[in-house]
Structure 1
Amino acid sequence: MTARFGGRLVIAISPADVGRRVSIRRHVTGGFRDVVGDLVSWHGGVLAVRRRDGELVEIAEDTLAAGKVVPPPPERRSR
């Protein structure tokens, strides 16, 4: 989920990635929390990520631990 270089977590996303699918790890009380989805906005220090189930997750920029652009999910096959 997270990119590591020399043992460090890396934030490899920016506001330029709005519209792309991202994987983000953020600091929360007691550890970390991950979210994967489409980065729909990043302004005023807040990122908004829309998960596959439609939930919109807002993330304070100062809680980011790691993040990267990821490929689209695999196509679902119908029966």
Structure 2
Amino acid sequence: MPGPVDFLRSCEPGTRVTVRRRTDGGWADALGYLREITPTSCVVETRRGLVRVPLDAVTHAVRVPEPPPRRRR
């Protein structure tokens, strides 16, 4: 089974993912679309904007399904 960084490197840009990373305060998740992967980091487009995640901080990464359609009021 590939590790989380190998998984991210195998994904095409535009894949919806969740990336968990270590931070000074514990853990943080980035849920959104993978936009870029470099030798040292990946960029995930979340609802709040672009998040650059250093690959050496990644602990988990998984593909997630598309969000359900928004309900009409």
Give aligned-pair identity as a percent. 32
Q: Structure 2: 5+ residue runs without aligned partners?
A: none
Residue aligning to 1:24 = 19
Residue 47 of structure 2: SS of its match in structure 1? coil
Please state which structure has a larger fraction of its residues in helix. 2
Q: Report the alpha carbon displacement of residue 29 of structure 1 after superposing the two structures with TM.
A: 0.5
1:76 is aligned to 2:67: no
TM-score by length of 2: 0.83
TM-score by length of 1: 0.77
CA RMSD between the two structures: 1.6
Q: Report the alpha carbon displacement of residue 13 of structure 1 after superposing the two structures with TM.
A: 2.4
Moved over 3 A (4+): none
Q: Structure 1: 5+ residue runs without aligned partners?
A: 1-9
**Residues of 1 paired with 2:29 and 2:8: CA distance?**
17
